Structure 1
Amino acid sequence: MVIARMVAGAGSALAMLTLSGCGMLWSCTDTTAERGEAGVRVDIVDESGRSVGVTAEVTGWRREPHPQVPADGDQIHFQIRFEGAGQGGEPAVDACAVDDKRVVLGCQTIHSLMDFGREGTYTGDEYLAVDRPERVDEVLLIPNDQSVHDRRTCEDDIKDGGGVHPPDMPSPGERL
């Protein structure tokens, strides 16, 4: 009888630990959102592929030295516009310089909050350093929102990590 009560009590204690988040096994899973189609003008999407209500567009670009580090040689100086920003979320996109076959030469994340303009439309310019600026044929934007600040993974935090994460920034040599 005493053993039966101990077994029943142990089962209740295990159930309470599990329900309180102290269980030994977590069902933490990490997934990565599918990378959207790169373009000069994109509708920014969240991790589930839904539009965030902001459009980003590269409005022009040229090769020239950065004025603060001209000794570094040519970089890609491009202009970007975010329309619909400033209404809650401040999305960010990866901008990539590509060659004529859409092979990535270099990328960086551009945050709409960094650019200035009237409410709802932010415009600005950025410099992108690439190894071979003379090969750049176009500057493309990846539509996936990169502004997510809390990117804890299961490896970082098995209890609170996990979920769908934005795709990684394209690496040089990848084709868009």
Structure 2
Amino acid sequence: MKNRSKHSRLMQRVHDLEKLLRLATMSTTKLPPRKRPLSNQRDLLLPWKVVADVMKQELEASEACQVILRDRIDMSVAVIRDMQRFASLHHMYLNKDAVFQHFAFPPLSSPERVQEYDLVFTESDCYYLLQRSHLTFDVPMEALRRMNHQHLCSLLLLADSTSNDEKVVPSRNLYK
């Protein structure tokens, strides 16, 4: 009931405004061309302050929208990365036996230990230490990290076997 009366009032208002518009257009078209009021172009322009305020509001709204959209993009990218990591880990877990065989690792249930190191020198005077190992440790992750760090440092420094005064021939990596 309430909506019906509100709707009828709004419809009546629409009809009244349409009637007023028709009367206004008819009164201006019935005037002879020379008697029609000439609108000055300056009267049709908005003040610059109004235009500037509207543009400032639109700028603020678009910047707020940009921040929201960038946050959504960041969240979407993070979700995509997580999904990719999950998919690759899931794939590795499901295919662990085949991967272990492919890289010549013993099965997980085997007590055999594998540990190999390879030092590869490149033409650009860089070197890479490649480590291939299959060990089972029942220690906290921080202790394992510290142990690997110390072991890697000892490998790279070669247990401090050379002094800093010795020169290295770069072409053959030999000591003089």
Question: Which TM-score band applies after superposition, normalised by the shorter structure?
Answer: under 0.3
Query: Which one has a larger percent strand, Structure 1 or Structure 2?
Result: 1
- Higher relative CO (Cα under 8 Å, sequence separation at least 6) belongs to 1
**TM score, norm. by length of structure 1:** 0.24
* Structure 1 or 2: more helix by fraction: 2
Higher Cα Rg, which structure: 2
